[in-house]
Structure 1
């Protein structure tokens, strides 16, 4: 699965920046940061989401979920939908 493409399409987002396995997507209502697996995430993906006015790329995020495969990504999408509907 292309996680960035799915997130971009589902939430109507554009890429703000990408550096060393970290990508930030943005919309007027939401920022999503997707971190590719590496040793500090125990080799899992990490998805962080926050509102634009409180987004800090390495600070505390309102939603932070880790996953290792496509099934985990689908569960994270459900959590993100719940978060976004608040």
Structure 2
């Protein structure tokens, strides 16, 4: 499921329209294009939309990301932890 598909599913489940989801954050036109997969959405904007409507960001991402995407995130988190350890050891 894409981010746009997940947003649409969440919006419909909440009984909201696109104008309500986009309100004060992005234009309705942009939001519509995100749902349809025409435009990508920045992570900070996605988080703003989700938190504005009291949706849990972690749950949303878990449901919308593929297993491969989740695996990549875990790999990068591990690499970041290793960098922090290396930096700590150098000081």
After TM superposition, the score normalised by the length of structure 2 is 0.29
After TM superposition, the score normalised by the length of structure 1 is 0.30
Q: Which has the larger radius of gyration?
A: 2
Q: Which has the higher strand share?
A: 1
Asked which structure has the greater RCO (Cα within 8 Å, sep 6+), the reply is 2
